[in-house]
Amino acid sequence: MLVRLSGAVAVLAAALLFAGSANGAPGSGFRLVDGGVTPREVVPHSVDPVRFHLRFAAPSPMRLAIRVNRLGTGTVRRFVTGRLAPARWHHRAWDGRTRRGGLAPPGRYEVLAGPVGGPLYKLGRARLRGHAFPVDGPHGTRGYIGEFGAPRVDGRTHEGFDVTARCGTPLIAVRAGTIIKRAYDPRLYGNFVVLKGEGERRTYKYAHLRSPAPVRNGQRVRAGRRIGAVGLTGNAAGTPCHLHIEIRTRGRLLDPRPILASWER
C-alpha cells in the first residue's frame, strides 16, 4: 500500500535520511572518531591476540560490522557486535582464525569497521607472522659445534640446532598446536617437549629444558605460550646454557638454522 506524506512530513523525513547517510549507514548518523589495531605484528592464535579499538559518534547505540581483510586476497573474518554506546572506547580481540576456523596465513591485514549495512572505515593494519622465535629473550649460537649435522664424538651427527641463552630464559611455542610428547631422557635430551604445529606437517622438539615442561601430553597450546626454560639437562652439562631444537616434517629432519633466522624480528 502506498502512503502519501504531507509536504512538511516528507521534507522532515528526507532531511533526516540525508543527515544519517552523509557519513554512515542510511539513518545512522555514524561517524568514526578514532580507531586502532594492536599489536602491529602477531602470530595467529597467540597468547597476545590482535585487538581492535574504536570510538564513534552517533545519535544512539548501534550494532557495528568489523571486517578483517588480507591485503591482496580479501576478507578472512567478519564480526557483528551487539549494540554499542557512542562516545566510548570499544575493544574487540581476534584470535587470528579465519571464518572456517583455520589459522590465518601470514601477510598484511587491514581492519575496517562501520555500521551494519553501511560503509566501513579503516581502523588500522597488522602483520601476521607464521611462527614466533622459540627463545623469548637475548640469545646467540654455539658456532660450528651447535650447527645441524655437526659431528659428535660417538659417531653421531647433530640433529638439531643450538640457540644459546641465559639459563632460565623462557621458551615459547613457535606456533599454536598440540603437545605430543613431554618426557625426560637422561642420556641425551634431558627434559624435552615436542610440539606439533597446527595446520602444518611439522614438529618442534625442545631439549635440555631446565625443568619438566609446564604442559601435558595432548594439551593444545597457543603460540607464544611458555612451554619451558633454557637449561643444561641431559648431555648438555659442561656446555653453555642452550636450547637444542629439532624440526621435522613427516619425520624427516630439517636444518633449523635458516628457519629460525626467518622467524627473528
Task: Tell me the pLDDT tens digit for each residue of 220-256.
Answer: 999 999 999 999 999 999 999 999 999 999 989 999 9
What's the confidence (pLDDT) of residue 17? 38
Question: Quick check: is 1 in a domain?
Answer: no
Taking CA atoms, 145 is separated from 67, 135, 253, in Å, by 49, 19, 18
Question: What is the distance between the alpha carbons of residues 245 and 14, in angstroms, rounded to a whole number?
Answer: 68
Question: Quick check: is 135 in a domain?
Answer: no
64-95 tens-digit pLDDT: 999 999 999 999 999 999 999 999 999 999 99
| Terminal-to-terminal C-alpha distance of the chain | 64
90-116 tens-digit pLDDT: 999 999 999 999 999 999 999 999 999
What's the domain count of the chain? 2
Do residues 180 and 207 both lie within one domain? yes
Query: Which residues form the domain of 69?
Result: 7-128
Question: Quick check: is 133 in a domain?
Answer: no
41-52 tens-digit pLDDT: 999 999 999 999
φ and ψ at residue 144, rounded to 5 degrees: -55, -40
161-181 tens-digit pLDDT: 999 999 999 999 999 999 999
Question: Quick check: is 60 in a domain?
Answer: yes
Q: How confident is the model at residue 155 (pLDDT cuts 50, 70, 90)?
A: confident
CATH code, 248:
2.70.70.10
Tell which phi-psi region holds residue 19, choosing left (phi > 0), alpha (psi between -120 and 50) or beta: alpha
**Model pTM score:** 0.86
